Amino acid sequence: MSACAVYAEFHPPTGVTHCEAAYLTHAPAAKGRNAGAGVPSQPDLVLVRTNRLEIFRLRTAAGPAQAHPGPGGAGGGPGSAPGSGSGSGSGGGVRLELVAGMHLHGVVESLAVLSGGRRGGGTRCCWPSGTGAKVSVLEWDPSRHALRTSSLHCFEGDPAALREGRQVAAMPPRVATDPAGRCAAVVFAFCQLALLPALEADSLELSAGGGAGAAPTVGNAYLLNLSKMMGIREVRDCVFLHGYTEPVLLLLHEPDPTWAGRL
């Protein structure tokens, strides 16, 4: 094995470790308007198989009754409901179509997607989090029909100081995104919280030089020590709440670490 290899794969991964549904390759259809022919109306399926990221699109094939409606209506006969067929084989089929796939140089520990929010256009990017405190922001590039790396973030610094003297972290890093697409949060090393604000449309145009080139979708990150600021330790999970004018992050934590003697 080469000394500069980041991740060595001995067997292709088969099991799905993370899954998300998001409008990544296309925007959602407007309310009250049906999608046209060939335009997908369902969100994409984003799968992670250890170190492989795949994007699938849901394809619906029209059945014989829908493709060739009879004189009695869309169902092919009088009294039949639209979309229903006379037999089990007459309905339309649904299948998954692989849109893009890429191998990553490391194991993905957490996955989240950031919606377009006020910018529109569906989901802007997905957030694969690797081992330790590394986050990669990926965005769909329509011109290349592939994912591109928007920005890379590393919050490790001094690992011993972040883990407060512990050798390893019991929990992998956890990534959460605001439902309104305003920011994202990364919880790692028991009590470390990194906040990444999303850039608005005006900020994206200024950072891209008036549209000439690609711009990152997130701004500078803020690193907070929850133990020193709020006395919160041993964070197990986090999630952003819906329906608030400002981003509200809910943390699930325990005052003392769990050990085998308590079982």
For residues 144-172, give the mean pLDDT.
Answer: 76
Min mean pLDDT across 49-63, 180-194, 200-214 is at: 200-214
Residue of higher predicted confidence among 38 and 81: 38
With 0-12 / 13-18 / 19 or more C-beta atoms within 10 angstroms meaning exposed / middle / buried, residue 186 is buried
The CATH number given to 18-27+43-60+93-262 is: 2.130.10.10
- Determine the average pLDDT of the residues in 173-197: 90
Q: What pLDDT, on the 0 to 100 scale, is given for residue 214?
A: 47
Contact 147, 100 (CB under 8 A): yes
Distance between CA atoms of residues 132 and 7, nearest Å: 14
- Please state, rounded to an integer, the average pLDDT across all residues of the chain: 76
Return the pLDDT at 87: 44
Structure confidence at residue 211 (pLDDT): 41
**Where is mean pLDDT largest: 125-129, 130-134, 181-185?**
181-185
Helix or strand (DSSP H, E) at 64: helix 64-67
pTM above 0.85, yes or no: no
Q: Is the pLDDT of residue 35 over 60?
A: no
d(C-alpha 2, C-alpha 168), whole Å: 26
> Which of 16-20, 111-115, 133-137 is the most confident on average?
16-20
Query: What's the mean pLDDT in 154-176?
Result: 73
pLDDT in tens, 70-81: 554 444 444 444
The predicted pLDDT at position 178 comes to: 92
Domain range summary for the chain, segments of one domain joined by +: 18-27+43-60+93-262
* Confidence at 19, pLDDT banded by 50, 70, 90: very high
